[in-house]
Structure 1
Amino acid sequence: MQRKYNWFIGLVSVVLTIALLAGGQVLWQKYAVAKPLDKMLQGIDGVERATWEEGAKKEDVKIHVMLRQVGNLPKTYSEITDGCRQILGSRGFKIIIHDNRTPELEQFYYRVHYFIQEAIFTGNFALMAERLEEQAAQNGVAVQAYVDARHVYLKLTKDGGEMYEVVPRTVDSREVK
């Protein structure tokens, strides 16, 4: 009889320990990650709303950000990435930008994205800017293009529609076959 009692106490101890650890994980996720992440994202100019979700792997977090009337896209994007890095630490994350793009702005982007890719490859961003301005004038689109060491930022507006694109300047050689 004594042996059964010890097994029962051991089993109860294991179950309680697992429940305590899971509860601690949920609380940590809520108060150390979720609330600070939500508060940080809502405090950035140009961010209308933001949500996030765990990816397929626990290390991956997808951050959905709705942008509206962003004055300085590189600054806004940098604030988002720096804040996420600070809160998420070593966890990987991907920022997914949502905006109020129109089919016309998407078509314009598809026509000019070749200029952006060519500039990333050649480094001739002045030519890219000239071509973008030329195409924008022909299509009645207001375009703002910015370049920094890591990204090319593009803001397109027309008739109340806004489209934001952030294109990485680095090429992942693993993807090139």
Structure 2
Amino acid sequence: MPKKDYNWIIGCLTLVLSLAILFGGQFLWNKYAVANPINKMFQNINGVESVTVGRLNEQGKNNEKVKIYVKLNNVSNLQNLYSEITDGLKQVDGGKKYDIVIQDTRTPELEQFYYTIHYYVQEAIFTGNFAAMADHITAKAVSAGVDAQIYVDTKNIYLKMTRGTAEMYVIVPRDASSQGGK
């Protein structure tokens, strides 16, 4: 075999081996340094059914946020649960930014109900009249046969809508630059 062909084969093998080591290292780091501590933290929180930590390479090059998919079930107080989640994530790794994606058992009827009331939520964010928002949402919920729980704190508005066995959780940031659950 000529020496030139031999150098190309070694170069290609070296490149493939280097890429395999780099991607394998990233996978192991994501699993053991990011996902495992987060999963352990979520095991102690009531109302959290399951947690999935997104892979870092799906985040994009300039986005340093780690996506965390949290499936909720039978949450008694969404505001307390969300505070417990965000406080726990700060303790696991205070410097990292997380994008919490809430998964629930929503139905098209609950989504339609949310679309009819989200104007009240946006209006309350702009005007600060959260009592009127709660009254309007409660009235709409009674007429639609939906059980709605509304919580407000300095950062977010928390909505839990239940109809039968279906539940829908929505966290709306009060500040457009704030991070909320989707």
Report the TM-score when normalising by structure 2.
0.78
SS at match of 1:167: strand
SS at match of 1:62: strand
> Partner residue of 1:107?
112
> Partner residue of 2:90?
85
Q: Can you list the C-alpha shifts for 1:27-58, whole angstroms capped at 9, x where unaligned? A: 55443322111111122110000101121136
Offset of residue 84 of structure 1: 1.8
Offset of residue 86 of structure 1: 2.3
Where structure 1 has 5 or more consecutive residues not aligned to the other structure, the ranges are: 1-14, 173-177
Q: For residues 24 and 107 of structure 2, what CA distance do their matches in structure 1 show?
A: 44
SS at match of 2:102: strand
- Say whether 1:122 aligns with 2:127: yes
Identical columns (%): 54
Q: For residues 29 and 143 of structure 1, what CA distance do their matches in structure 2 show?
A: 38
SS at match of 1:44: coil
Q: Aligned AA for 2:60?
A: A
SS at match of 2:154: coil
> Partner residue of 1:154?
159
Q: What RMSD over aligned residues (CA atoms) do the two structures have, in Å?
A: 2.5
> Partner residue of 2:70?
65
SS at match of 1:156: strand
- Say whether 1:34 aligns with 2:38: no
SS at match of 1:84: helix
Q: For residues 23 and 87 of structure 1, what CA distance do their matches in structure 2 show?
A: 23
Q: How has the CA–CA distance of structure 1 residues 27 and 121 changed in structure 2, closer, same or farther, with 3 Å as cutoff?
A: same
SS at match of 2:138: helix
Where structure 2 has 5 or more consecutive residues not aligned to the other structure, the ranges are: 1-14, 178-182
Q: For residues 23 and 105 of structure 2, what CA distance do their matches in structure 1 show?
A: 39
Q: Aligned AA for 1:59?
A: E
Q: For residues 22 and 164 of structure 2, what CA distance do their matches in structure 1 show?
A: 53
SS at match of 1:100: coil
> Partner residue of 1:131?
136
Report the TM-score when normalising by structure 1.
0.80
Q: Aligned AA for 1:163?
A: M
SS at match of 2:161: strand
Number of aligned residue pairs: give it: 160
Q: For residues 124 and 35 of structure 2, what CA distance do their matches in structure 1 show?
A: 38
